[in-house]
Amino acid sequence: MSNKERVDGEFIKPIIYGNRAYRLPEKLPNNHTHRWTVYVRSYNNEKLSNYVRKVQFKIHSDYKNPIQVVENEPFEITETGWGEFHVQIKLYFIDPMERQVLCTHYLVLHQPEYSDENGSKFVMKECYDEIIFVNPL
């Protein structure tokens, strides 16, 4: 149990969660056409791991490891696939009194499309949200 004193007040932690996807140069033998990364990160420069203990990603049950837990930054998972589906992202906090936060993200592979600094095309979809801590540690 933490011996830290709690701080009175409300503290807002802005986060971003979403995915990036890249079309594979060639379809894989298992018909996978894209490589994608699903992630959750801080909206500002604060380290998410200052208050997040681990993140659980739940992807489609067809995957060999449909539930993946990440305990260190970056809080992300990367897989290959051929389609779009809902991903469940559950944040667990260092403060044992804090309940988990559940985010749901619809994985995108086809749009909206962007170009990176090398001119490579990728697809990205992100969502902004805020975690509000009341009288945190």
Q: Which residues sit at the interface with ligand V91, rule CB under 6 A? A: 30, 32, 60, 62-63, 81-85
Q: Which helix (H) or strand (E) holds 82?
A: none
- The residue (of 58 and 60) whose beta carbon lies closer to ligand V91 is 60
**How many angstroms separate the first and last alpha carbons of the chain?**
11
Smallest distance, ligand V91 to C-beta of residue 102, A:
20
Dihedral over Cα of 73, 47, 81, 117: its sign: negative
Of the pair 91, 108, the CB lying nearest ligand V91 is at 108
Q: Name the minimum Å distance from CB 88 to ligand V91.
A: 14
Order of strands across the sheet with 101-106?
67-70, 52-58, 86-93, 101-106
Which of 5/62 has CB closer to ligand V91?
Answer: 62
> How far apart are CB 58 and ligand V91 at their closest, in Å?
13
Angle subtended at Cα 55 by Cα 50 and Cα 60, rounded to the nearest 5 degrees: 160
CB 62, min distance to ligand V91, A: 4
Measured from each CB, the residue nearest to ligand V91 is 83
Task: Please tell me the distance from the alpha carbon of residue 81 to that of residue 65, in angstroms, as a whole number.
Answer: 13
